[in-house]
Chains A and B, each alone.
Chain A
C-alpha cells in the first residue's frame, strides 16, 4: 500500500461511496476484489470515510456507513453519491482502445461496441475530445489478412483443427503443420494466431502475414491439457537459457536494427554507432540480417556465426563471378521476362 499516493487513494475513496450506494448493500470481500485491495485496506478506507468531519459553520459528519457482518451499507452519502466524471486520460484510454478494437477482424459483437462508444462519448463530454488526437492502426496488409483472420475465428468458434503452410523467414523455409487454434492475439498492432502446434508439440504463436495457406480440417481441435495460452502481458517472445548470445556493431545507418529486434542491451558508440546484444534460439536470421546490412552491421560474436556469415558472403560473391558472367544473356531476352508480365 505504500506505493499508493494520497491522490490515488483519494480516487479510490471517491469511487467507493457511489460503488456501495449504487448496489445498496454489498459484501466486503466482493468490494475488495473489485477495487483490487485487501479487505483490511478496504476497512481502513471505510473508517477513513466515516471519520470525515467538517467543522464549520457547524461540525458535522457528511458520510455515514456501516460494515457489520461483512456487508457494507452507506446510509448518508451527502453529495458524494455519484462517481467523479471521467478524466481526459481515462476517457481517452478507453476510447482509443475501443476504436482500435473496432478495426479488428472477427470481433463479433460490433453492435455492443458502437453502443458502448456512443455511451462513453456522451458521458465523458469534453473529456472525450482529446482521444481524437490518438489513433491506432492495426496492421492488416490487404484483404488477405482480414479474410484469413475471419477464417481463423470461424475455426476457433467451431473447435476445428487447421493445417498451416507457414513461412519461417529466419530459415527461409515454408513449413507444413497442423495446429489446434486457441485464440487470436493482436500485439503491437500485428495480428497473431496462438495455438497448439502438433508438429512442435507445444504452444506456438503464428504471425498472420506469414501464413502462406490455411485449410480448416474436418478434425476437431484437441489441444492437450498442458496447452495454456501465454501471458501476453509478459511479452510474446521470451529468451530461454539455451539461446545464443549474439553481439553486433551497427553504423548510424544500421541503427534501425535496435528498433526492430528486441535487444538485451544497446550501447552507444562514437559517431552514432551502436553495439547491441541479442539472444536468439536460431541464428539463421542473424546471418541473413548481416548479409543485408553489409558494412552497416558487423557480427562480433559468437565466432562460429562470424565465420558462417563470411562463408555465405564469399559464396554469394563467387556466384556473381561464375553464374552471372556465364549466364549473362543478351539484354533483349532479359527484357522479355519483364514484358511477359
Chain B
C-alpha cells in the first residue's frame, strides 16, 4: 500500500466532488498534490487513478463545459456519488448482519463487508447487526476458482471461453459462452447461458471448468434475452427424472435402511430363504439405481428387472476385475 497514492486519490475525489464545472486534466494536476511534473508520467498515472476510482464505483463523468472546448474535463456529481438516504430499523439491521455473514470466506465476502461499512457510515448501528439470536446460520461458499471471473462476466455482460470437462469425458473441451447468470443449486455453482459453439442454451457446473476463464469480448456485448430464467435452466438440467420403473429386491433383515425408506412395500419373504425381506421400490433409471443397489453389497439382491440385475452384477465384477 502506498500512502502517497491514497492521499492523491482522496484529493482527486474531493476535488472532483467540489466542482460543478468539468475540470481538465491540467487543472486537476494543478489542484491535486502528488502528480509528477513530467507530462508522460502524469498522463499514465492519471489514467490509472481514473480506472481505480471507476473500479471502486465512483461515478466519474467526462464532458465539455463548452461545445468548442478542446480537452474533455472531469467531475463527480454529488447526487450520483452519494448513497441515497437509507434509514434502517434495528430489526432490519439485524437481518442485514445475518446476510453479510452468509459470504464469510467466499468470493463476495469483501463486497459484503464493503457494503456494511457504507451502511454504517450512513448511520446504521453496528450493534444492531448482531441482534438476531443466532439460531440459524446460513453460509455460502465459492470454492470453485471459476466463480470470480464468471460473476464478473455476468455482471459486466461479457462473453467468456473456458475448457470444460463434461461428466465422464476424459478430455476437456473448449467452450465459448455468453453467460446469463450464475446459480447455486444443492450447494454447487452453475453458469447458464448461450453456448456459441453449440448454438443453444447450456448449463455448466463450475467445478468442472478446468483452468482459467477468459473474457472474449468487451463489457456490454452480451444480451440476456427477455424472459430467460437461469434458475429454471439449471433446475431442468439438474432435476431428478421421474421414478417410473419398479424393482424387486431381496434385502437382508435388519439392513438396507436406505432402500426400505423409499420402498413401496416391504414384506417377509415366506417362500425364500430365511433372514431376507422382499422389497419393492420405484426407480428412475437402471444406471443410477444399479449404482445405489450395488453399494449395499451382500445385503441386497436384485430379483427383477433382469437388466437391472445384470447391471449390478457388472459393477460387482468390476470391483474384482
Contacts and interface: CB of A to CB of B under 8 A. Distances in A.
A93 B94 CA distance: 16
A119 interface: yes
A316 B290 CA distance: 13
A232 B137 contact: yes
Interface of A: 1-2, 4-19, 22-23, 33-36, 48-49, 51-57, 62-63, 78-80, 82-94, 96-98, 100-101, 104, 106-107, 109, 112-113, 115-116, 119-120, 122-123, 125, 127, 130, 132-137, 139, 153, 156-157, 167, 169, 172-174, 182-190, 212, 229, 232-233, 252-253, 255-256, 259, 271-273, 287-296, 309-310, 312-320, 323-324, 326-329, 331, 334, 337-338, 340-341
A294 B122 contact: no
Nearest to A288: B295
Contact of B6 (A10, A293, A340): A10
Contact of A327 (B1, B182, B224, B271): B271
B315 interface: yes
Interface stretch (B10-18, B39-47, B65-73, B194-202): B10-18
Nearest to A89: B111
B138 A104 contact: yes
Given A34-B120, A78-B17, A133-B230, A10 B100 contact: no
B8 to A, nearest CB: 9
A266 B119 CA distance: 42
Contacts of B112: 90, 93-94, 97
Contacts of B114: 11, 87, 89-90
A327 B275 CA distance: 14
B301 interface: yes
A132 to B, nearest CB: 8
13 contacts: A54-B18, A80-B13, A92-B108, A104-B136, A109-B91, A135-B183, A169-B258, A187-B141, A189-B186, A232-B104, A290-B319, A314-B320, A324-B250
B32 A54 contact: yes
B108 A172 contact: no
A83 B180 CA distance: 31
A232 B139 contact: yes
A172 B141 contact: no
B95 A101 contact: yes
